[in-house]
Amino acid sequence: MSERNIFLTAEDRKRLVALLERPTAAWDRDDVRDLVVEIQRASVVPAAEIPPDVITMNSKARLLDLDRGATLEYTLVYPQDADFADGRISVFAPIGAAMLGYRVGDEIEWTVPGGLRRLRVEAVLYQPEAAGDFSR
């Protein structure tokens, strides 16, 4: 993942830190370590102040695969809610960790076994904070 300024809501940060403190957290995975670094350096803001074009937890985003030209829609979720077939991507998955905190227009890059993947955030279709749903 590239160096960028990301935003997290205080509640998302609290929930993510609690998940990472569990003994079952896979600390040996690079993407989980990257997520820890992102959380530590994120700008933490109250949910009511998060910009509406930022991918937060439980946000649904439209992404453009810059290498394949395909449009994808993913919802960024906590691990227990993940269902790849339904487009619900865990924040602990490499693409999930990479998506967190990105904004419309940003390009996401992350390394996969087959090389580099590149996506651009085209739209945030749903963001709980923008919808006034501060409990998600």
* Domain regions of the chain by residue span: 7-126
pLDDT in tens, 31-73: 677 788 888 888 899 999 999 999 999 999 999 999 999 999 9
Residue 29 has pLDDT above 70, yes or no: no
Residue 74 identity: Y
Neighbours of 97 (CB within 10 A): 26
CATH 3.10.50.30 describes domain 7-126: yes
Q: Residue 1: what pLDDT?
A: 45
Average pLDDT over every residue of 117-128? 96
Dist. CA 94–CA 89, nearest whole Å: 9
d(CA 70, CA 63): 8
Q: In what order do the strands lie in the sheet with 107-112?
A: 88-90, 71-77, 60-65, 115-126, 107-112
User: Who has greater pLDDT, 22 or 108?
Assistant: 108
